[in-house]
Structure 1
Amino acid sequence: MSSRRGLTGLGIGVAAAGAATAAGVATDRVLRARRKDRAVPRPADDPVLEQHGSVVVADDGVPLYVEIDEPGDRDDTATTGAKATTVLLVHGYAHSQALWAQQRRAIHDAGYRVVSLDLRGHGRSGEGDDASYTIAQLGRDVASVVEQAVPDGPVALVGHSMGGMALMALAEQRPELVRDRVVGVALISTSAGGLSEVNFGLGKQLGGVVHRLGPGAVARADRQQNAFNAARLLGRNVESALVHRYSFGGPVPRDVIRDLAEMIFGTRLHVIGAYLPTLMEHDREAALPAFEGIETLIMHGTRDRMTPIAHGESLGRALQGAELVVVKRAGHVLPLETPELVSAQLLAFLERAERSTQDEEAT
């Protein structure tokens, strides 16, 4: 294998999905594989939407898939009593709302109304124009979800990775919505900017190569999406090792790695490539003051290779009064690596937000 092709595979792996998606798989075998491209059904045509989910229409017409858990709407759990606050869960780059499965159940069981979103181009949501794959547009999408799926009452926003960046974009664009409706914001494994300096644990020189090759490598692989998918079957061990390396900081069950890999590879490669520039350009530290005065939680792992711990510490300094939880020996995808801890921290955060709201109403 040539060094350039090896770096191209690495560029795809590190850049795509924020979790080392396809490195080592999109190499010579991908380029040699020959499969006719098949159309992928649009999520809006999926009958599952009508059975189990709802559609929020974004400001540019893209259908966004959401699922809503009303307090007490499941027979298999006992809810503790309905709370006033709705919790909106926003996943990260190349993931889906499935990321939140354990937190979603814990929050719902505590009595909260829960709204889970698939970002545009992810999961069961529709695809937009490539030019729409920006963090700014994601901020507008979150606003659309709040307005259509949470039309009244207090709301707490929870974002992982790019989902947290989308919440910053919302604060930048709609500070009045944050001021009037939002009672809390949780930012998990995310950043206010400076991702173009991240070397993914590869060292400065090789990290720079990945930044340069990543977007182009993803774009080239997208032209043979089905060949790329076929090559995955030949390199499951490599794929799992790389997903583990860039997503987690320590041992996790094999099925957790596989579930995350399916989320990542469920995202079309051209979507992954289209989002890369906005991640590198993201700079919203100036928007953070919009969160002042509301309950704020920051969680970050010390072994996060995608958004290193310095990004979480920077958020903690910028958001005075925020609760900063540093998770030792944990990586980027905390909701899957330390699910019980994330659930417990979110529940404590929501209780603080509820108390703050009640105190304000009492005065």
Structure 2
Amino acid sequence: MVNLDRRLPRPGCDLRFFDSGGTGHGVVFTHGAGVDHSMFDAQARAAQEAGFRVICWDLRGHGASVLDDGIRFRAADALDDLVSLVGHLELERPTLIGHSLGGNLSQTVVKRHPGLAAGLIIVDSTWNAGPLTIMERFGLRLAAPLLALVPAARLPELMAKASATTPAGVAYARECFALMPKRVFLDVWRATLSLVDPDPDALTPVPLTLIRGAEDRTGNITAAMPRWAAAENIAEHVIPTAGHISPLDAPGRVSSAILNALISQSRSTEHG
């Protein structure tokens, strides 16, 4: 686990982050809902060893980025946090890498702030702008109310088993979810859903890489990511046997996919 030794004061929360420094192309890793930056440890280490400037952070309300008393988690605040972090570090068109909620946030930032990022790597996240079937719309509306019915004591185990396929991944997810109060988790879940905004004409304005675990059964990711890849005319990277937290279930395969994408995107930036 990298040491989040730096702070960025933000309204309602001091963000904790790590910056490897250096002159390499910047890479910002944004983790998913309910977990923390350490889910990307293997990938961040691989990127740093390859010469990239690596930034890892804990989203507000997650890990070391503790919310101030009385503050609720909102998607708008998390989006502003990510943009502010890039600006604070004076990163010149970094690549944004986002898992699950981190992927939803990164998609929205790229859409709303043209020119901020040079590339986008999405891991185990749905397509914000993608079309939704009637059943998918119905499932999204029901998700938060159904989770609200789950007793707080059972929620960490339920979410952990739904998130990972390996013992290490399940144990990590269980520990993270156990640290998050249920009310905060439900706020985070609602915020994630609020970022899904179908737009049939939307295409990603920067080079895009899509990665998902073959056993990911979270939301509509298994259906949505292939549709997204087809719409963008790219190939998705499907990681065998991995679940929703594929960076932990298959760290080597996910690291290779991310590094290949980073090298390709950084070359495109250099030439263009």
Q: Is the shorter-chain TM-score for this pair beyond 0.5, marking a shared fold?
A: yes
1:190-229 equivalent positions in 2, closer than 5 A: 190-193=125-128, 197=135, 211-215=144-148, 217=150, 221=152, 228=153
Structure 1 position 182 matched with structure 2 position 117: yes
In structure 2, stretches of 5+ residues that fail to align are none
- Inter-partner Cα distance in structure 2 for 1:196 and 1:171: 27
SS of the residue aligned with 1:56? Answer: strand
- C-alpha spacing 1:110/1:268, structure 2 compared with 1 (3 Å): same
- C-alpha spacing 1:208/1:185, structure 2 compared with 1 (3 Å): closer
- Inter-partner Cα distance in structure 2 for 1:54 and 1:326: 34
Report if aligned partners of 2:30, 2:37 keep a CA contact under 8 Å in 1.
Answer: yes
Deviation at 1:287, TM superposition (A): 10
Partner residue, 1:67: 18
- Letter matched to residue 99 of structure 2: H
1:143-162 equivalent positions in 2, closer than 5 A: 143-149=83-89, 151-162=90-101
- Letter matched to residue 248 of structure 2: L
Query: Which has the higher mean CA deviation after the structures are superposed, 183-192 or 62-71?
Result: 62-71
- Letter matched to residue 104 of structure 1: A
Partner residue, 2:36: 96
- Inter-partner Cα distance in structure 1 for 2:247 and 2:126: 16
- Inter-partner Cα distance in structure 1 for 2:92 and 2:142: 48
Partner residue, 1:165: 104
Q: Of 43, 55, 76, which aligns to 2:7?
A: 55
Deviation at 1:208, TM superposition (A): 8.2
Q: Of 198, 202, 216, which aligns to 1:304?
A: 216
Report if aligned partners of 2:168, 2:249 keep a CA contact under 8 Å in 1.
Answer: no
SS of the residue aligned with 1:186? Answer: strand
SS of the residue aligned with 1:93? Answer: coil
Deviation at 1:258, TM superposition (A): 1.6
Greater helix share, structure number? 1
- Inter-partner Cα distance in structure 1 for 2:51 and 2:107: 27
- C-alpha spacing 1:171/1:184, structure 2 compared with 1 (3 Å): closer
- Letter matched to residue 278 of structure 1: A
Deviation at 1:264, TM superposition (A): 1.9
Deviation at 1:152, TM superposition (A): 3.6
Per-residue CA shift, 1:83-140, capped at 9, x if unaligned? 3x11000000001001111111111000111110100100000215777523332211
Deviation at 1:267, TM superposition (A): 1.9
SS of the residue aligned with 1:291? Answer: coil
- Inter-partner Cα distance in structure 1 for 2:74 and 2:31: 15
Partner residue, 1:74: none
Higher Rg: 1
Partner residue, 2:175: 262
- C-alpha spacing 1:142/1:286, structure 2 compared with 1 (3 Å): farther
Q: Of 27, 39, 43, which aligns to 1:87?
A: 27
Partner residue, 2:57: 117
Report if aligned partners of 2:29, 2:37 keep a CA contact under 8 Å in 1.
Answer: yes
- C-alpha spacing 1:357/1:136, structure 2 compared with 1 (3 Å): same
Deviation at 1:256, TM superposition (A): 3.6
Deviation at 1:342, TM superposition (A): 0.8
SS of the residue aligned with 2:33? Answer: coil
Report if aligned partners of 2:144, 2:190 keep a CA contact under 8 Å in 1.
Answer: no
SS of the residue aligned with 2:64? Answer: coil
- C-alpha spacing 1:152/1:273, structure 2 compared with 1 (3 Å): closer
Structure 1 position 342 matched with structure 2 position 254: yes
Structure 1 position 246 matched with structure 2 position 162: yes
- C-alpha spacing 1:188/1:285, structure 2 compared with 1 (3 Å): farther
- Inter-partner Cα distance in structure 1 for 2:41 and 2:201: 28
- Inter-partner Cα distance in structure 2 for 1:317 and 1:66: 35
In angstroms, what is the RMSD of aligned CA positions?
Answer: 3.1
Report if aligned partners of 2:110, 2:117 keep a CA contact under 8 Å in 1.
Answer: no
- Inter-partner Cα distance in structure 2 for 1:312 and 1:112: 27
Report if aligned partners of 2:12, 2:71 keep a CA contact under 8 Å in 1.
Answer: no
The TM-score normalised by the length of structure 2 is 0.84
Partner residue, 2:240: 328
Report if aligned partners of 1:54, 1:66 keep a CA contact under 8 Å in 2.
Answer: yes
Per-residue CA shift, 1:126-168, capped at 9, x if unaligned? 215777523332211110110112x142311000000001112
Q: Of 119, 122, 141, which aligns to 2:81?
A: 141
Query: Higher relative contact order at CA 8 Å, sep ≥6: structure 1 or structure 2?
Result: 1
- Inter-partner Cα distance in structure 1 for 2:251 and 2:45: 11
- Inter-partner Cα distance in structure 1 for 2:9 and 2:199: 28
Deviation at 1:192, TM superposition (A): 2.7
